[in-house]
Amino acid sequence: MNKLIAVFICFFYLSGSAQADSHSNAEINAQIWLPFIESYAKGDGDLHASLYSDDIVRVSRGKVQTGMAYIERMREYVNSLADRGGRPISFRFNERSHNENTAYETGVFRLMHSDGTASYGRFEVVIKKIHGSWKLSFDHDQPTDRDAWNAAEPMDAMLIPADR
């Protein structure tokens, strides 16, 4: 009987944890990944800039950029995409771990070019909940290939909120 009770407790704990993970993933999708995709598609630099914490740390190819200087550079870059009709970007994930205020996610992005070719990159981010909203606080990426893209998990459509 004690073993049966232990199994039920374990089941309910794991079920609750999975539901919390789904809720957090849906929240992060709605507040980070879907607006990120939209900002590139529309060339909306203001939307893109709103995704970062004021103290963002960005590391790419051995170069570290931080704070508002990086945010403003990204705002200008993403705004420039509007003149070119935007750029489709999409994400797949290798790991999505979080607690109530901090998330660590890794995966692969695919950035489509106007000639139909694609660039791929591995990303690693830390996302923090600041004043009730998720914000990117650390962002690292490096080039990769289509094989890495194919090996990663797509964003779960069930975790995309209905209002997006």
CATH number at residue 85: 3.10.450.50
pTM of the model: 0.82
Please check whether residue 1 lies inside any domain of the structure. Answer: no
In the DSSP assignment, the letter for residue 156 is P
Number of domains in the chain: 1
Please check whether residue 94 lies inside any domain of the structure. Answer: yes
Please check whether residue 119 lies inside any domain of the structure. Answer: yes
Please check whether residue 84 lies inside any domain of the structure. Answer: yes
> pLDDT per residue over 82-124, tens digit each?
999 999 999 999 999 999 999 999 999 999 999 999 999 999 9
